[in-house]
């Protein structure tokens, strides 16, 4: 079983495993496991394979369930229970659903010694339509208040990572999607205050995923 404490490191890579079949998911994870601190999976994979894939992936690396949990507290609780019973190290939830939903997710995660990351701002173009600067900061503040482990902030906008870091101080971690194929730079994102960069396509679509992961790792380690 992978060491869940990997998620205590200061900086590193999280692999966004946005493939949809189990064989590829396991093969890519095995190839890069020692270069990444966690793998992040979402519903497109889990709806095809079932949550049983978590225990298989966990042999290589801690698994983060990127389920963008966005429901009423009781349903959030039941979803998080599934996540942690399946063996995930952490879950990603939306903060937009309010303080009671957020605190219920943290409470459930804590009961399983698991962690919660809260989406403070999304990386796609329409993501800022409702996630205004003010709302993003408010979500980051609530994440700190209710004991989340970290927040999610976009590598595609490092200036926003910096602003959100100012809101949460050093109490929470920041994980940042959008590095690589989406245009974000690993070095710039870490410099802006992220603890982990989340890299997907540029690793899992590479002819040699391990070489690509190594490149990002070298880029990050130059900064430490």
For position 205 contacting a copy of itself by CB under 8 A, the verdict is no
18/188 with CB nearer a copy of itself:
18
The answer to whether the annotation marks 145 as part of a ligand binding site is no
What is d(CA 29, CA 173) in angstroms, rounded to the nearest whole number? 23
Q: Which token pair is 165?
A: 């870091």
71: annotated active-site residue: yes
Of the candidates 6, 56, 128, 144, which one interacts with a copy of itself according to CB under 8 A?
128
33/45 with CB nearer a copy of itself:
45
Could you tell me the smallest distance in angstroms from the CB atom of residue 215 to a copy of itself? 24
Task: Report the candidate in 34, 43, 33 with the shortest Cα–Cα distance to residue 65.
Answer: 43
For position 107 contacting a copy of itself by CB under 8 A, the verdict is no
Could you tell me the smallest distance in angstroms from the CB atom of residue 7 to a copy of itself? 22
Q: What residues between 51 and 70 interact with a copy of itself by CB under 8 A?
A: 51, 67-68, 70
Of the candidates 23, 113, 126, 207, which one interacts with a copy of itself according to CB under 8 A?
126
For position 181 contacting a copy of itself by CB under 8 A, the verdict is no
34: annotated active-site residue: no
Could you tell me the smallest distance in angstroms from the CB atom of residue 103 to a copy of itself? 9
For position 204 contacting a copy of itself by CB under 8 A, the verdict is no
Q: Which token pair is 223?
A: 């900064």
C-beta of residue 194 within 8 angstroms of C-beta of residue 187 = no
What is d(CA 110, CA 129) in angstroms, rounded to the nearest whole number? 32
10: annotated active-site residue: no
Count of positions (residues) in the chain:
224
Active site residues: 66, 68, 71
Q: Show binding-site residues for substrate.
A: 18, 40, 66-75, 123, 177-187, 200-201
Q: Show binding-site residues.
A: 18, 40, 66-75, 123, 177-187, 200-201
Residues in contact with a copy of itself by CB under 8 A are 18, 20, 42-44, 46-48, 50-51, 67-68, 70-73, 75, 78-79, 82, 94-102, 122-131, 135, 138-139
């Amino acid at each position: 079983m992978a060491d869940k404490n990997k998620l205590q490191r200061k900086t590193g890579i999280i692999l966004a495993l946005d493939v949809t079949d189990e064989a590829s998911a396991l093969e890519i994870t095995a190839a890069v496991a020692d270069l990444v601190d966690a793998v992040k999976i979402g519903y497109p994979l889990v709806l095809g394979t079932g949550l049983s894939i978590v225990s298989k992936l966990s042999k290589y690396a801690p698994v983060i369930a990127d389920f963008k949990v966005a429901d009423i507290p009781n349903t959030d609780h039941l979803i998080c229970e599934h996540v942690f019973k399946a063996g995930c190290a952490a879950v990603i939830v939306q903060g937009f659903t309010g303080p009671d939903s957020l605190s219920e997710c943290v409470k459930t995660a804590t009961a399983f010694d698991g962690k919660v990351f809260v989406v403070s701002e999304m990386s796609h173009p329409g993501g800022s339509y409702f996630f205004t600067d003010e709302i993003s900061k408010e979500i980051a503040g609530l994440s700190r208040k209710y004991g989340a482990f970290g927040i999610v902030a976009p590598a595609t906008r490092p200036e926003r990572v910096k602003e959100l870091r100012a809101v949460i101080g050093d109490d929470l971690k920041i994980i940042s999607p959008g590095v690589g194929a989406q245009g974000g730079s690993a070095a710039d994102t870490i410099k802006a205050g992220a603890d982990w960069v989340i890299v997907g396509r540029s690793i899992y679509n590479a002819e040699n995923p391990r070489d690509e992961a190594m490149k990002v790792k070298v880029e990050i380690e130059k900064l430490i």
